[in-house]
Amino acid sequence: MNDFLQRCRQQIGNQYVLTEEVDTLVYERDQRQRATGKALAVLKPGDTEEVAAIVRLCQQFRVPIVPQGGNTGLVLGSIPDDSGTAIILSLTRLNRIREVDCDNHTITAEAGCLLASVQNAAIQHALLFPLSLASEGSCTIGGNLATNAGGTAVLRYGNARELCLGLEVVTPQGEIWHGLRALRKDNTGYDLRDLYIGAEGTLGIITAATLKLFPQVRSTSAAWLALESMSQAIALLTLSKQVAHATLSGFEIMNELSIRWVHQHFPHYQQILSQPAPYYVLIELSGSATQEDNDEQLSKLIALALENNLVSDAAIATSLAQHQHFWTLRESISAAQAKQGKNIKHDISLPISQLAKFVASTDALLQNYAPNCQMVTFGHVGDGNLHYNVAAPEGIAPEIFLHQQDAINRIVHDQVQLFHGSISAEHGIGTLKKEELRRSKSAVELSIMNSIKRSLDPDNLMNPGKIL
């Protein structure tokens, strides 16, 4: 492989071909420190033409390619196996904002741009890019699109696929598809854009994207509500849609344990309500109305919720700092889980009408299998996405409890199938869930997916071993 690496150095520069372990390890290990692969080298091209040149070299020398953005993925989709035969193609140097078109409400950004950088570029033009994730300071646009990221604003704006109008992609043969169309209507055959979004780098390498922008919101209001059950949360969501209509921009649910752990591990965070409750909901309304009108609409919604016995207590944010505090509590759940110890995680989606039944029946099955296991249930209930996590009973070491992971996954995923849901709502498949994918997809679906993969990447060099 010395000849291959030397040719790569000639293409992109010696300093951008990393082969020493001290330099490559951070790219080879996933962010949760669960798995470490081994790469032949980490290559860091500086533009699309250099990406294409590297891909052509990989074709010539039959070297597998693992595309990587911010390496913030949760399903081991952006690290190589341990064979040392694949390169990691880091896209972090492709970090330019190419254009902001204010009249067309679009932004064209390269794949290595941080999500936060795209958000800030929109703000500088008094516009909004609404994709919002806890990792927005470190995840990249290319990774967001490769995994069809969701986040907290899907209820109003949709996930990454809905926010993308066009792509630039390097194919497995090293050709460049110049598909950066800024059109909202383009009915000219197969939609290649949607084929690459969510494909996790297995069909080609996204190098740039044209994305939708929106007017900045004029006012934002938030409330933190206490509820007794998931059923009440679903009824509250229906009421919120009826009252708030298009201004409903966030509807997040958290069970009591998830927030208790946040306060346990971050004791400087202030309690919002005086008494604990089985569930909490964070509602956000935002729009073009005045702040007074927005607050009035939220107050009306809460009054109706109290009148209909859907909530037992409520707090409305009276300042920007308090509004941000509400969101900080919600977004700190994952960090609190990490401090508490490893647990068995599930990123699932279900029809909203089935969420309460799923939680009730699956909680019962899990308690029967693993008595006193602790449920950490939270997520974007407004779009049917739950992070449904199972932690060890008190007094049992998390490492010991993880030995039951396969059985617990089987219980949860079988229930997801029973309720016509998905085993991956927003994190993707990677290598972590590909065996589960075979259980959850029909033979026809898997056959079509394999046919697409073989057609576009017949040599299986693009992120091999992921998804399929």
Q: Which domains does the chain have, with CATH numbers?
A: 2-90 (3.30.43.10), 97-215 (3.30.465.10), 219-334 (3.30.70.2190), 341-427 (3.30.70.2740)
pLDDT of amino acid 152: 87
Q: What is the chain's pLDDT, residue by residue, as a tens digit (468 residues)?
A: 789 999 999 999 999 999 999 999 999 999 888 899 999 999 999 999 999 999 999 999 999 999 999 999 989 999 999 999 999 999 999 999 999 999 999 999 999 999 999 999 999 999 999 999 888 999 999 999 999 999 888 999 999 999 999 999 999 999 999 999 999 999 999 999 999 999 999 999 999 999 999 999 999 999 999 999 999 999 999 999 999 998 999 999 999 999 999 999 999 999 999 999 999 999 999 988 899 999 999 999 999 999 999 999 999 999 999 999 999 999 999 999 999 999 999 999 999 999 999 999 999 999 999 999 999 999 999 999 999 999 999 999 999 999 999 999 999 999 999 999 999 999 999 999 999 999 999 999 999 999 999 999 999 999 999 999
Phi/psi-derived region of residue 9, left when phi > 0, alpha when psi is between -120 and 50, beta in every other case: alpha
DSSP alpha helix (H) spans, 46-127? 48-61, 115-123
Q: How many CB atoms lie within 10 A of CB 353?
A: 11
At CA 437, angle to CA 431 and CA 440, rounded to 5?
A: 165
Contact 179, 192 (CB under 8 A): yes
End-to-end CA distance of the chain: 27
Q: Which helix (H) or strand (E) holds 42?
A: strand 41-43
At CA 310, angle to CA 306 and CA 313, rounded to 5?
A: 55
CA distances from 207 to 98, 122, 257, 272 (A): 12, 19, 41, 43
pLDDT of amino acid 151: 86
Length of the chain in residues, anyone? 468
pLDDT of amino acid 1: 79
pLDDT of amino acid 134: 84
pLDDT of amino acid 33: 82
pLDDT of amino acid 336: 96
CA distance 276 to 206: 46
CA distance 415 to 93: 43
CA distance 326 to 464: 41
Contact 65, 57 (CB under 8 A): no
pLDDT of amino acid 465: 95
Contact 67, 89 (CB under 8 A): yes
Phi, psi for residue 168 in degrees, rounded to 5: -115, 130
pLDDT of amino acid 31: 86
pLDDT of amino acid 93: 98
